[in-house]
Chains A and B, each alone.
Chain A
Amino acid sequence: MPENPMHPATPRPGQERYTAPADQAKLGAVDAVDTTEAPSSLWNEAWRDMRRRPLFWVSATIIVLVSLVAMFPGLFTSQGPRVCQLANSLGDPAPGHIFGFDRQGCDIYARTIYGARASVVVGVLTTLAVVILGTTVGAIAGYFGGWFDTVLSRLTDIFFAVPLVLAAIVIMSVLPERNTWTVAAVLASFGWTSIARITRGSVMSVKNNEFVTAARALGMSRGAILLRHVLPNSAAPIIVYATVALGTYIVAEATLTFLGIGLPPWLVSWGGDISMAQQSLRVRPEILFYPAGALALTVLGFIMLGDVVRDALDPKARKR
């Protein structure tokens, strides 16, 4: 019988029988638990990841500062925003009035500081409302499916088709009263659709996980499964979107106020000040710069934070 070429009798050079010394690669117990490291949840890990990013500290500083200004404007300026003397109209910066005066003779620095509250309140209120409404609609549509899904998804589509600012202009112009609450309500009633869609998709992918089936097999009710298992696992994209959206709602509020149909003129707000600065744009462009700059910085803070949060919560989306 000829020698089988696949299995030569003697191994060829480099293929001799080799056994590593037993102590070289130490054999651990099969699949032992590492008990040395501290336990850490996904949230912990996301936090650890965020902490290492300079962008997080930059955006967090901006947001904390803006929030402080919105809560305690008196801490940052001793001037009142409505203490205006026409004598100071378009006046240059003076000691105690570092940004100078606007056309009405009001202190620009004080108005910029006091304007923060309106923007932040509208942004936060709108975001809260949008998250509650959008998450509820999206979660019900995605989790229960079928008939619920069809109706709610079409409803979402209808609202989605209406441009946010356009709808707000129409509604705001017929509302009898305009204040931070109504602006937030109007923005929220047309802004929830994106969150609803994001939640629906996220819930639909989470609900097919085996831990959901396991919970069903334990006898857990559908509502409890949705609240305890499905929603927490769907939260990451919602949080990311909401952080970015907060910035855009501040912009939308400023846009409406600028157009004269957002916040009323007696309320100090960046949108209103930008609108008024228009008249003096040729003579004194700086008047426009301060409220607009504050607005841009705030929005930038939230959008950057959204970016960092996304990278921390979803490592797959991280840019290399």
Chain B
Amino acid sequence: MTSVTNIETNPWPERSAGAVEPLLQISDLRISFTTAAGEVEAVKGVDLTVYPGQSVAIVGESGSGKSTTAHAIIDLLPGTGRVTGGSIRFAGRELVGLDRKQVEDVRGKEIGLVPQDPMSNLNPVWRIGKQVEEALVANGFKGNKAQRRTRVAELLAEAGLPDAERRAAQFPHEFSGGMRQRALIAIGLASRPKLLIADEPTSALDVTVQKKILDHLEGLTHELGTAVLFITHDLGLAAERAEHLVVMYKGRVVESGPSREILSNPQHPYTRRLVSAAPSLASRRIQSAHERGQVSPDQLTAHGSARPGDDVVVARNLTKKFKIRGSRPGSHTDFTAVDDVSFALPRGRTLALVGESGSGKSTAANMVLGLLEPTSGTVEFDGQDVTALSSREQFAFRRRVQPVFQNPYGSLDPMVSIYRTLEEPLRLHKTGDAKEREARVRELLEMVALPASTMRRYPNELSGGQRQRIAVARALALNPEVIVLDEAVSALDVLVQAQVLTLLNDLQAQLGLSYLFITHDLAVVRQIADEVVVMQSGKVVEHAATDEVFDNPRQQYTRDLLAAIPGSSLETGTIAG
């Protein structure tokens, strides 16, 4: 980090309370979008203050107006959006109503932006160095070619890219997600802005990478005295990284204040909901409706509860190798995605497969589902080898194991109505006549707490959480014993995620379901799983009961994963719920 110290910045602006002028002061900001349905107000009077060198976070779910507010600061509102009222003062200057030229002077030079998606925010046909250089030149860096190159290397090194000079000559596709995000941070900080807007800077990255990058960003902005405005949906992350929190809901600020205070003593009902739903802050398994005493014992049905040693799915020495095309035509090398993995799913319980991207957890799940043939090893379902089934036996087996996938926008056919989506498995397996099938569809919708009228709708009319509940209902249609949940709640907002998790938990207690829960998010695991299998690069590194893994992790990798949960360092004490 030696490159930072010789730069002329004042790392410690005056910090005495009250004496400093705010760097950014937003008051009563209103933003509207023009849609087919007329004018829609997305931000309804937001107040926000950021002091020099301070870190502030806006927290909210999708559609809360948090990104819209942030983008209004640098006049990057998408489409038809425009500021209809209020003011944005930055360093004593009004930003609302500036013409394009004046905004361009501020943008980049005084306010930097680290965008959300590292995959699409770098131009794939330009070298990384060129893109950083562009940011420098656009913001008035004077200097010849050699000076520019040196500066680019300095910036990239400062953002934490080793061997920066060589890296600068590479293209984005040669970078991993984390490295791209570092390059974007270098671009955001290229001209030493006074304020850096970080819009969900790490939500697309693995947790351990996320932690490293946020740690680095924190150190760097601290050193440079840059104020940071985080935009995030993750309350834990926000509270951990920012000193001041602004909670937004439906275009309004519902609560703001010092982050620890908000976390330990939320006042507004929405904030309370958010705090109690945040998986990173939850400390124990969700109780099922049964345990909460809302279901009478006789509602518990056939498949029954767990008896020790009764494993419904047993995976033995599962190995899956994929062929990767080699450099010469016709040649190939083997890539081992899953390497000698064994686990058992006890009946009526939840087993979580945890790992980062590329750990082989989804490949393992697909083998359990019988969608992928293992290279070696077996999957036994109720003592029967799934891989050796005839096609008719396999068809029968399908009824007993069903998946729910991650992407709520991809898991339902957009052309098919909800009714047909739910009826399809019944018709396929020739269950009942038309009337019975309709009754079953109604029952399924009720199970996932959706009104019966939903069945006339199409997937595009439902929210992500609702689609995910439909996907759960479709999985339940044939009364399966095992459901494989492949990142089933990862794409959902916190509150919706909590709702779906509670639903899954209730259904498990009601129907005696066994879940194989695939996730990258250890925080969610604690809420739903009984046992955890931690995977890394295709191998099982740790397998234990959930509490055991959390309280007493044996492997360094598991400890890293645990430490990387945003908000894990916070002591929240008792939380109002």
Contact = CB atoms under 8 A, between A and B. Distances in A.
Interface of A: 5-20, 22, 24-25, 27, 30-31, 33-35, 37, 39-42, 45, 209-211, 213-220, 229, 232-233
A9 B15 CA distance: 12
B519 to A, nearest CB: 16
6 contacts: A6-B55, A12-B22, A15-B244, A31-B465, A213-B405, A233-B414
B330 interface: no
Contacts of A20: 252-255, 268
Contacts of A22: 268-269
B415 A42 contact: yes
Interface in B339-388: 369-371
A296 to B, nearest CB: 34
Contacts of B175: none
Interface in B536-570: none
Contact of A214 (B250, B258, B411, B457): B411
Given A12-B18, A209-B410, 6 more contacts: A14-B49, A20-B254, A30-B496, A211-B412, A214-B405, A218-B478
A229 B499 CA distance: 29
B428 A218 contact: yes
Given A25-B254, A27-B273, A30-B496, A219 B398 contact: yes
Contacts of B250: 25
A11 B258 contact: yes
Interface of B: 12, 15, 17-18, 20, 22, 25, 47, 49, 51, 55, 243-244, 249-250, 252-258, 260-261, 267-270, 273, 369-371, 394-395, 398-399, 401-403, 405-407, 410-417, 424-425, 428-429, 450-451, 453-454, 456-458, 460-463, 465-466, 471, 474, 478, 495-496, 499
A217 B244 contact: no
B273 A211 contact: no
B411 A33 contact: no
Given A15-B257, A25-B252, A31-B465, A6 B18 contact: no
Contacts of A15: 49, 51, 244, 256-258
B17 A233 contact: no
Contacts of B256: 15, 17-18
B428 A18 contact: no
Contacts of A40: 458, 461
B457 A27 contact: no
Contacts of B22: 12-14
Scoring B55, B411, B478, B496 by chain A CB atoms within 10 A of each residue's CB, the highest score goes to B411
Nearest to A14: B49
B561 to A, nearest CB: 26
B430 to A, nearest CB: 11
A18 B406 CA distance: 37
Sorted nearest first, the 9 A-B pairs with minimum C-beta distance are A14-B49, A219-B398, A17-B257, A210-B405, A210-B411, A19-B267, A210-B410, A31-B465, A5-B15
B405 A232 contact: no
B429 A219 contact: yes
A13 B49 CA distance: 8
Nearest to B15: A5
Contacts of B47: 14, 18
Q: Which of A27, A213, A217, A229 has the most CB of B within 10 A?
A: A217
A211 B410 contact: yes
Nearest to B260: A7
A39 B457 contact: yes
Given A31-B466, A219-B394, A232 B415 contact: yes
A211 B411 contact: yes
A285 B495 CA distance: 74
Nearest to B256: A18
A217 B402 contact: yes
B572 to A, nearest CB: 16
Nearest to B253: A20
Contacts of B244: 11, 15
Nearest to B397: A219
A211 B466 contact: no
Contacts of B471: 214
Contacts of A229: 413, 415-416
Contact of A33 (B258, B269, B429, B462): B462
Nearest to A8: B17
Contact of B424 (A5, A25, A218): A218
A27 B269 contact: yes
A292 to B, nearest CB: 40
Given A20-B253, A218-B424, A219-B398, A13 B460 contact: no
Contact of B463 (A5, A12, A31, A42): A31
Given A16-B257, A19-B268, A33-B466, A220 B405 contact: no
A14 B25 contact: yes
B253 A18 contact: yes
A275 B573 CA distance: 90
A14 B26 CA distance: 10
A210 B369 CA distance: 14
B20 A12 contact: yes
Nearest to B418: A39
B466 A42 contact: no
Given A7-B258, A20-B254, A35 B463 contact: no
A18 B257 contact: yes
Contacts of B394: 219
B403 A213 contact: yes
Given A17-B257, A229-B413, A232-B415, A39 B461 contact: yes
Contacts of A217: 369-371, 398, 401-403
A25 B398 CA distance: 46
A8 B15 CA distance: 9
A219 B412 contact: no
Q: Give the one of A20, A24, A41, A229 with max B CB within 10 A.
A: A20
Contacts of B495: 30-31
